[in-house]
Amino acid sequence: MRIDRFLERTSDDGKKTMVVSAADDQEVMTCIGEVLKRGLCNCILVGNKDNIFSIAHEIGMDISDCEIVHAADEVESAGKSVSLVREGKANVLMKGGILTKTLMHAILDKEKGIRGGGILNSVCAIDCPKLDRIVYLSDPGVVTYPTFQQKVDIINNTVSFVRKLGVDIPKVAVVCAVEIINPNMPSTLEAAALALMGQRGQLKNCIVDGPLGLDNALFPEAVKHKKVSSPVDVCGKADIVIMPNAECGNGIMKAVRFMTDSATAGVLLGAKVPVVMTSRADSAENKLRSVGLALAASE
């Protein structure tokens, strides 16, 4: 898959460090084993020390080169992991076998957290065989019902992230249920305003269009069939798709992940370092791709 190029790319970046919160989980440890095998980065494993060694022994994994930080429970694991990032000891934070809300609480802590100052939003990278590019979808899970200003911030965060991955001028589609402005659908009005902001240079380093349906944002044949026209070159070519709310984003992300042959990866943006924020139910393979994506975009 094309998304696997981030695993190849990061192997030449030098030894960055990733801290793993609640690493004492078999799927997480399997992913870390592959990270170490590929030499992608150094790892600091935070969690129950005995369980970490037990899982490593069970799956035949050598963790002699890993720093192990003991934590008695999820809350302590989250706090210690975030502290390591604050101290500049890690370039990436990975969510292990821990509840998202527990890790987010530590990230957002006003005194001890690692919030970057702006909005936090999640991005799902989708490598679909039917497309000639990787598409980045936001927000599938953090900003539940974004305001207009939050959509501006989500676009800025995501554009900055995608540019680090090699797309110099990303094409951004603000997705709605329809590709026309409908006063009875407020999301279409906001999409049109965002598109105008893009045309007037208020959204930097990207080309923005909207409202667009997901079909004519991504697929040229849908653009042709529906006769969608636009003054900017985004229709059928979008690199980034901005969802009207997290319910839409999350539904599409899960449909793509479980009902198609697409490969996906997930990263949380807006903290001081990229955060690998995959589901605890995700496979080790999906977690590995997310690690590669985060490392590729980390400083």
Answer yes or no: is 295 within a domain. Answer: no
Whether residue 135 is found in the same domain as residue 249: yes
pTM listed for this prediction: 0.92
- What is the C-alpha to C-alpha distance for residues 117 and 176, in angstroms, rounded to an integer? 28
Answer yes or no: is 192 within a domain. Answer: yes
- pLDDT-based confidence at residue 10 (cuts at 50, 70, 90): low
Q: Is the pLDDT of residue 8 over 80?
A: no
Whether residue 71 is found in the same domain as residue 140: no
Q: What secondary structure does DSSP assign to 120-181, as a single string?
A: -EEEEEEE-TTSSSEEEEE-SSSSSS--HHHHHHHHHHHHHHHHHTT-SS-EEEEE-SSSS-
Answer yes or no: is 138 within a domain. Answer: yes
Decide: helix, strand or coil at residue 7. Answer: helix
Of 73, 91, 115, the residue at which a domain comes to its end is 115
Answer yes or no: is 151 within a domain. Answer: yes
- Per-residue pLDDT, averaged over 232-259, amounts to 94
Judging by DSSP bridges, how do beta strands 121-127 and 275-276 pair with one another? unpaired
Whether residue 136 is found in the same domain as residue 241: yes
Of 68, 89, 115, the residue at which a domain comes to its end is 115
- What is the C-alpha to C-alpha distance for residues 237 and 218, in angstroms, rounded to an integer? 5
| pLDDT tens string 29-56 | 999 999 999 999 999 999 999 999 999 9
Answer yes or no: is 272 within a domain. Answer: no
Whether residue 24 is found in the same domain as residue 81: yes
Whether residue 93 is found in the same domain as residue 214: no
Tell me what pLDDT residue 5 has. Answer: 86
> What is the average pLDDT value for the chain, to the nearest integer?
93
Whether residue 126 is found in the same domain as residue 109: no
Whether residue 150 is found in the same domain as residue 236: yes
Residue 43 near residue 119 (C-beta atoms within 8 A) = no
Whether residue 208 is found in the same domain as residue 248: yes
Residue 86 to residues 78, 83, 126, 273, Cα–Cα distance (Å): 12, 5, 30, 9
CB within 8 A of 256, min separation 6: which ones?
124, 126, 128, 262, 264
- What is the C-alpha to C-alpha distance for residues 71 and 79, in angstroms, rounded to an integer? 9
Whether residue 38 is found in the same domain as residue 134: no
Tell me what pLDDT residue 70 has. Answer: 98
Residue 18 near residue 92 (C-beta atoms within 8 A) = yes
Number of compact structural domains in the chain: 2
- What is the C-alpha to C-alpha distance for residues 285 and 58, in angstroms, rounded to an integer? 19
Range of the domain at 208: 121-259
Answer yes or no: is 285 within a domain. Answer: no
CB within 8 A of 279, min separation 6: which ones?
none
Whether residue 170 is found in the same domain as residue 230: yes
Is the four-CA dihedral 211, 217, 223, 229 of positive or negative sign?
positive
Of 259, 278, 294, the residue at which a domain comes to its end is 259
Whether residue 128 is found in the same domain as residue 252: yes
Answer yes or no: is 27 within a domain. Answer: yes
CB within 8 A of 99, min separation 6: which ones?
74
The CATH code of the domain that includes 146 is: 3.40.718.10
Answer yes or no: is 297 within a domain. Answer: no
| pLDDT tens string 98-157 | 999 999 999 999 999 999 888 999 999 999 999 999 999 999 989 999 999 999 999 999
- Per-residue pLDDT, averaged over 204-212, amounts to 97
3-state helix, strand, coil in the chain (%, to 5): 40, 20, 40
- Per-residue pLDDT, averaged over 259-267, amounts to 92
Tokens 């980034």, residue located: 240
Whether residue 132 is found in the same domain as residue 250: yes
Q: What secondary structure does DSSP assign to 201-254, as a single string?
A: TSSTTSEEEEEE-HHHHH-HHHHHHHT---SSTTTTT-SEEE-SSHHHHHHHHH
Tell me what pLDDT residue 170 has. Answer: 98
**Packing angle, helices 186-199 and 148-164, rounded to 10:** 50
